[in-house]
Amino acid sequence: MSRVVHRTRDSRSPAKSVALHLTLIAASVVSVFPVAWLVLTSLKPRQVIETASVGLFEQPTLANYTQVLGQTKFLTWAANSVIVSLATAVLGVLLSATTGYAVSRFRFPGFRSVMWMLLITQMFPVAILIVPIYNLMAGLGLINQFPGLVVAYLTSTVPFCAWMMKGYFDTVPVTIDEAGRVDGLTPFGTFWRLILPLAKPGLAVAAFYSFLTAWAEVAYATAFMTGDERYTLAVGLSQFVGQHKAEWGLLTAASVLIAIPAAAVFLLVQRHLVTGLTAGATKA
């Protein structure tokens, strides 16, 4: 294999090589520029931001960051986002793993319609469930409460993760279940102690997907969270750029604080996420 690789590299003419790298560099610039500009802007004081200069560094300062952290509710919103996303991830994985296992192992009446249901929910526009769920939560007094938002997120993450988890459980041989049963494990014991550990990569993808969905969700959070003590980051950020005044300094600094950890974690796990998303799809 390595010999083949070598040959292809040597066989590329210098002109082609240059063209290839120039294209990739141009694409990388387009892809990185908005983020890089965000970081640079967050280091500029307000008067520079509002002069539309194209300088990279002008009077660099951390003032925007100290203001975001000290004088806004940014940290509260970040904590809210973490609480909601973690709860969604944990509950979502529990529910979707058990559901995925059920549809992977048992053929029950209505099996096909369950699979279709799980798949079709992926097509649900936000508009379709948000009104009934909102009314339901309003009836239960859960508007502006974290549990209400978490349940709303579960309606969209659980079906998809269950569908994806089914793909993982399908790859675990049924003989393992049988071996567990022969050795005297209860059905739940088989699932919990034998099958789950084997499906760990799938669990990680499901947890990460649920976490990301909740972390970046805008529509439900905007409609459900009415007091600024309860905002998640997605809702809170819009407060900086309202109808009348726009605090671009605060917005950019807050965006950097959100994007950097998110991007770091994301780049570490994205390889698994892509395979997970397409694996569930092709194995269904």
List binders of other proteins among 74-113 (CB under 8 A).
Answer: 95-96, 98-99, 101-103, 106, 108
Nearest approach, Cβ of 200 to other proteins (angstroms)? 19
Nearest approach, Cβ of 66 to other proteins (angstroms)? 20
Stretch that binds other proteins, among 72-80, 171-179, 202-210, 257-265 (CB under 8 A): 257-265
278 lines the binding site for other proteins (CB under 8 A): yes
Separation between Cα atoms, residue 266 and residue 264, nearest integer Å: 5
Q: Is 35 or 204 the residue whose CB approaches other proteins more closely? A: 35
57 lines the binding site for other proteins (CB under 8 A): no
Written as six digits, the tokens of 158 are 């659980």
59 lines the binding site for other proteins (CB under 8 A): no
List binders of other proteins among 215-234 (CB under 8 A).
Answer: 215-216, 218-219, 222-223, 233-234
Please pick, from the candidates 145, 146, 262, 272, the single residue that binds other proteins as defined by CB under 8 A.
Answer: 262
Written as six digits, the tokens of 51 are 């002069």
Nearest approach, Cβ of 262 to other proteins (angstroms)? 5
Nearest approach, Cβ of 174 to other proteins (angstroms)? 15
117 lines the binding site for other proteins (CB under 8 A): yes
Stretch that binds other proteins, among 62-70, 71-79, 124-132, 194-202 (CB under 8 A): 124-132
Three state DSSP letters for the chain: CHHHHHHHHHHCCHHHHHHHHHHHHHHHHHHHHHHHHHHHHHCCCHHHHCCCCCCCCCCCCCHHHHHHHHHCCHHHHHHHHHHHHHHHHHHHHHHHHHHHHHHHHCCCCCHHHHHHHHHHHHHCCHHHHHHHHHHHHHHHCCCCCHHHHHHHHHHHHHHHHHHHHHHHHHHCCHHHHHHHHHCCCCHHHHHHHHHHHHCHHHHHHHHHHHHHHHHHCCHHHHHHCCCCCCCCHHHHHHHHECCCCECHHHHHHHHHHHHHHHHHHHHHHHHHHHHHHHHHHHHC
Nearest approach, Cβ of 184 to other proteins (angstroms)? 16
Q: Is 38 or 63 the residue whose CB approaches other proteins more closely? A: 38
List binders of other proteins among 170-209 (CB under 8 A).
Answer: 186-188, 191
Please pick, from the candidates 3, 4, 71, 175, the single residue that binds other proteins as defined by CB under 8 A.
Answer: 4
